[in-house]
Amino acid sequence: MRGQLNAPIKQRLLAAGLAVMLLAGAAGAQTPPKPALPPRIFLSPSGEPFRLSPTVPDPLMAWFDRVDANHDGVIDRFEFRADAAAFFKQLDENGDGVIDGFETADYESKIAPELTEQAEGRLPGQFPRDRDRDAPSGDRPSRPGQPGTEPHRESRGGQARGGPGIAQLIDEPEPVTGADFNLDGRITMDEWLRASDQRFDLLDTAKTGRLTLDALRAKMAVLQKLHQPAKEGRR
């Protein structure tokens, strides 16, 4: 009958279509998911920056490994507090036991200038070259074990290495001033450790007293997705 395919031709067409479907399915199954880019800068719960660099390919892990003092694969409250206290001493430039307004300003302009850049709507890490050239080396203080203290630049061609924005574990605009509970512009060690305990409790959702890298990475990914800018002009 006109318009009908004979049986052999129909079978060959069906076989060819099935082969195409199988090849497409196999190709799809073999394509690995695109790995998430590490953040350009990770801000610890206390506000200490860890920047992506050739020697620091994973800023979150760099912080975690340093805080995990006994290297048992978890961070407990004691280790978390000890890390926070060490950063407090770095911020307390004159050693009087208080982080005052001048020291907070130094934190925002010298230690974590990306916070200001992000607040101004710029991509964190895009520093004018003359700022790095003219700034004395002492303007970017670091403590032993803190990697990646140099401001992170873009790679050639203007393509940023690493994910955009500042990655955090807790959605806190500025962690240092966030510890000023009585809003007097002066942060004491008591206030600082009180903030540290609250942050540990927020991260320890399972209430085990232990923080694992995988659990923290998942929390960071949720915040990164929440703050990811919408892609415009794309399909």
Which pLDDT tens digit goes with each residue over 45-91?
999 999 999 999 999 999 999 999 999 999 999 999 999 999 999 99
CA distance 196 to 8: 75
CA distance 110 to 174: 14
Residue 120: pLDDT above 70?
Answer: yes
In this prediction, residue 147 has a pLDDT band, given cuts at 50, 70 and 90, of very low
Q: What is the pTM of this model?
A: 0.70
In the chain, pLDDT over 70 holds for what percent of residues? 63
Intra-chain end-to-end CA distance of the chain, in Å: 46
Specify whether the CB–CB gap between 202 and 170 falls below 8 A: yes
- Residue 152 has what pLDDT? 38
Query: Residue 100: exposed, middle, or buried by beta-carbon count in 10 A (0-12, 13-18, 19+)?
Result: middle
Among candidate residues 38, 31, 46, the one with its CA nearest the CA of residue 192:
46
Least confident of 98-107, 111-120, 126-135, 220-229: 126-135
- Residue 170 has what pLDDT? 95
Cβ neighbours around 25 below 10 Å, total: 10
Please report how many Cα atoms fall inside a 13 Å half-sphere around the Cα of residue 75, on the Cβ side.
28
Residue 206: pLDDT above 80?
Answer: yes
**What are the φ/ψ torsions at residue 129 (nearest 5 degrees)?**
-65, -35
